[in-house]
Amino acid sequence: MLHIVNKSHRQTTSLASCLRLAQDGHALLLIEDGVYAATTAGAASAGLAEALARLKVYVLRPDLEARGVAAALAEGVTAVDYTGFVDLVAEHTNNQTWL
Quick count: other Cβ atoms within 10 Å of Cβ 43? 22
Please state, in angstroms and rounded to a whole number, the distance separating the CA atoms of residues 28 and 53.
Answer: 12
Could you report how far apart the first and last alpha carbons of the chain are, in Å? Answer: 16
Q: Provide Rg for the chain, Cα atoms.
A: 12
Which DSSP letter does residue 23 get? P
Element (H, E) at 29: strand 27-30
Residue 99 binding other proteins, by CB under 8 A: yes
Least distance (Å) from other proteins to the CB of residue 23?
A: 5
Shorter beta-carbon distance to other proteins: residue 25 or 68: 25
Of 10, 11, 21, 49, which lies in the binding site for other proteins, with binding defined by CB under 8 A?
21
Query: Does 83 help bind other proteins (rule: CB under 8 A)?
Result: no
Shorter beta-carbon distance to other proteins: residue 47 or 72: 47
- Interface residues for other proteins in 40-79 (CB under 8 A)? none
Q: Which residues bind other proteins (CB under 8 A)?
A: 1, 13-14, 17, 20-23, 26, 94-99
